[in-house]
């Protein structure tokens, strides 16, 4: 229903601290594309047309957004005069919150002084060339030298990896026996002195401003951890180009945080920062997990009532597996972790939300296509009724939205629902469909058709630099590999909730809170 509401409230010497401060530029904000300010009957609203969202603004904050609309990009410093009772830091936090909700866009960087001490912890095993590239890039980051240390934990490498590390000004810890990345990260913390622990994989290369970007989020005391974009180091060949847009490490494309996402939100540990005191309080990474340890740790952080930020500007380049067999094996390993993680976190049982109006529409449309054409009239009536209901909900809040805009939003929500259904089938049931094809050929064909449809949508949204057939082939290999791991894990754990989610009904309208701070509505 519209709207639903949510509270907003080779080593180069590192640059000197003075140089860092002279290079810093304050953040500026502007309205995001497709967002406009709407004057309602009693309140002012930010309205985003795609997807359709609305944020109700207190009058004092509305004046800030009017200036952004009329005069273009503004910094918190230039806007704070409009709100004498609010300081620049609080205003920046408010605007950044709107950015994470998709209403604003920003450029530049805002840091809270003094900068914290940071310890970068890197586990490595048998990767001499990779760790050399990684450390060379770290020595070029823009951060005060006296506030940055690098700790490398060698996981019993059998080649010259440790010798390569000794040529760099870092702390090196050598494990006598192979214990895995989680154990190495936990061991690295014991040698770290920074207030912020930043975990990086040895096959990553960082941007020069990467550290400043990811550290900047810790100006908010509620933030317990943060992650950044994991981009592809290589883009040669179909598999590298596929991984660039479809890697499981490529989790987001814009700023967000855990409070705005589902309870399954996480950021990967190959580009992950956390407050050291929180890391110690939670006991670090679970060393019993070979994969999924970052998911488990992020969920525990969220359960401790601390938030996790994702900032895509804190970018690293990652060397993905660019051969088919390692690619499939890794996806299989990721799949095996899902039942185990669900068992470790039973309160995060997977739930599939049903939209009553969308279910009714698609059922009626199917009946009309297969047997009774007159059912299409009822399907059209469902769309019309849903459209009028959503418009009435918007008017209750004082927002006037055209019938056309609301109708488009209704159709998008119905298409989104059927896409989610097909995505779930593609993610978990291709193997089942293949095995059952001799007995149920029509059902198997329908499942594979749904899978292909999902692949085509993914191709159109992600725009990989490969042709559609290559993409669909790799997409199919990924899905089959992952769900093979899931089903194997389910049988091993004797725990099948990941493939049989709980059903819930989506669309109940929430009570609209009193105005004061911005509120969000979406559909």
Q: What is the pLDDT of residue 520?
A: 38
Q: What residues contact 235, with CB distance under 8 A and at least 6 apart?
A: 241, 244, 465
- Does the pLDDT of residue 103 top 90, yes or no? yes
Instruction: Identify whether the C-beta of residue 56 lies closer than 8 Å to the C-beta of residue 43.
Output: yes
- Better-predicted residue by pLDDT, 476 or 14: 476
- Does the pLDDT of residue 421 top 90, yes or no? yes
- Does the pLDDT of residue 167 top 90, yes or no? yes
In the CATH hierarchy, which fold is given to the domain comprising 118-322? Spore Coat Polysaccharide Biosynthesis Protein SpsA; Chain A (3.90.550)
- Does the pLDDT of residue 350 top 60, yes or no? yes
Q: What is the pLDDT of residue 30?
A: 94
- Does the pLDDT of residue 39 top 90, yes or no? no
Judged by average pLDDT, the poorest of 30-34, 88-92, 146-150 is: 88-92
Q: Express each pLDDT in 48-69 by its tens digit.
A: 887 788 888 888 788 899 999 9
Average pLDDT, the chain: 88
- Does the pLDDT of residue 18 top 80, yes or no? no
* Confidence category of residue 305, pLDDT binned at 50, 70, 90: very high
Q: What is the pLDDT of residue 370?
A: 87
- Smallest CA-to-CA distance from 156 within 189, 181, 130 is with 181
**Which tokens belong to 212?**
């400043």
CATH code: domain 25-110 is: 3.90.930.60
The domain spans of the chain are: 25-110, 118-322, 352-505
Q: How, if at all, do strands 307-318 and 502-505 pair?
A: unpaired
Q: Express each pLDDT in 222-241 by its tens digit.
A: 999 999 999 988 888 899 99
Q: What is the pLDDT of residue 25?
A: 55
- In a 10 Å sphere around its CB, with 0-12 CB exposed, 13-18 middle and 19+ buried, how is residue 156 labelled? middle
| Dist CA 485 CA 162 (whole Å) | 33
Q: Express each pLDDT in 262-284 by its tens digit.
A: 899 999 999 999 999 999 999 99
Q: What is the pLDDT of residue 516?
A: 37
- Better-predicted residue by pLDDT, 431 or 113: 431
- Does the pLDDT of residue 193 top 60, yes or no? yes
- Does the pLDDT of residue 522 top 50, yes or no? no
Report the pLDDT averaged over residues 76-97: 85
- Smallest CA-to-CA distance from 271 within 214, 337, 335 is with 214
* Confidence category of residue 512, pLDDT binned at 50, 70, 90: very low
| Dist CA 460 CA 223 (whole Å) | 34
Judged by average pLDDT, the poorest of 204-213, 376-385, 474-483, 511-520 is: 511-520
Q: What is the pLDDT of residue 344?
A: 93
- Does the pLDDT of residue 408 top 50, yes or no? yes
| Dist CA 162 CA 57 (whole Å) | 56
């Amino acid at each position: 229903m519209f709207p639903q509401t949510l509270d907003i409230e080779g080593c180069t010497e590192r640059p000197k601290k003075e140089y860092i401060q002279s290079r810093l530029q304050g953040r500026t904000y502007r309205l995001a594309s497709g967002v406009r300010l709407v004057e309602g009957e009693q309140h002012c609203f930010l309205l985003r047309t795609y997807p359709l969202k609305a944020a109700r603004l207190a009058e004092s904050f509305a004046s800030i957004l009017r200036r952004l609309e009329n005069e273009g990009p503004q910094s918190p410093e230039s806007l704070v005069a409009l709100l004498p009772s609010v300081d620049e830091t609080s205003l920046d936090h408010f605007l950044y919150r709107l950015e994470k909700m998709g209403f604003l866009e920003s450029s530049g960087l805002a840091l809270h002084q003094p900068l914290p001490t940071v310890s970068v912890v890197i586990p490595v095993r048998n990767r001499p060339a990779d760790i050399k590239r990684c450390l060379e890039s770290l020595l070029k980051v823009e951060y005060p030298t006296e506030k940055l240390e690098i700790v490398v934990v060698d996981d019993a490498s059998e080649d010259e990896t440790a010798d390569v590390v000794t040529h760099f000004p870092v702390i090196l810890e050598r494990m006598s026996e192979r214990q895995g990345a989680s154990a190495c990260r936990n061991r690295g913390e014991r040698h770290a002195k920074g207030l912020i622990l930043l975990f990086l994989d040895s096959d990553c290369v960082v941007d020069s401003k990467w550290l400043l970007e990811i550290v900047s989020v810790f100006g908010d005391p509620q933030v317990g951890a943060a992650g950044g974009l994991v981009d592809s180091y290589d883009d040669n060949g179909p598999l590298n180009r596929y991984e660039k847009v479809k890697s499981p490490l490529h989790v987001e494309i814009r700023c967000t945080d855990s409070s705005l996402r589902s309870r399954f939100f996480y950021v990967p540990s190959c580009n992950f920062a956390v407050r050291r005191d929180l890391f110690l309080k939670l006991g670090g990474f679970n060393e019993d997990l070979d994969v999924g340890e970052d998911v488990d740790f992020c969920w525990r952080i969220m359960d401790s009532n601390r938030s996790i930020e994702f900032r895509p500007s804190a970018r690293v380049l990652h060397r993905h597996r660019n051969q088919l067999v390692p690619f499939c094996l890794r996806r299989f390993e990721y799949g095996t972790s899902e039942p185990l993680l669900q068992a470790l976190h039973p309160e995060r049982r997977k739930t599939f939300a049903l939209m009553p109006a969308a279910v009714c529409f698609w059922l009626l449309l199917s009946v009309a296509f297969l047997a009774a054409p007159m059912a299409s009239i009822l399907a059209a009536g469902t769309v019309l009724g849903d459209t009028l209901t959503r418009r009435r909900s918007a008017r209750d809040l004082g927002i006037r939205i055209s019938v056309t805009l609301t109708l488009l939003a209704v159709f998008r929500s119905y298409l989104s629902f059927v896409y989610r259904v097909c995505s779930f089938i593609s993610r978990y049931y291709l193997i089942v469909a293949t095995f059952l094809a001799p007995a149920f050929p029509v059902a198997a064909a329908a499942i594979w058709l749904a899978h292909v449809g999902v692949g085509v949508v993914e191709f159109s949204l992600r725009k990989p630099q490969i042709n559609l057939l290559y993409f669909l082939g790799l997409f199919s290999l990924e899905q089959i590999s992952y769900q093979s791991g899931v089903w194997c894990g389910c049988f091993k754990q004797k725990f099948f909730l990941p493939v049989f989610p709980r059903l819930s009904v989506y669309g109940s309208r929430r009570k609209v809170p009193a105005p004061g701070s911005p509120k969000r509505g979406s559909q």
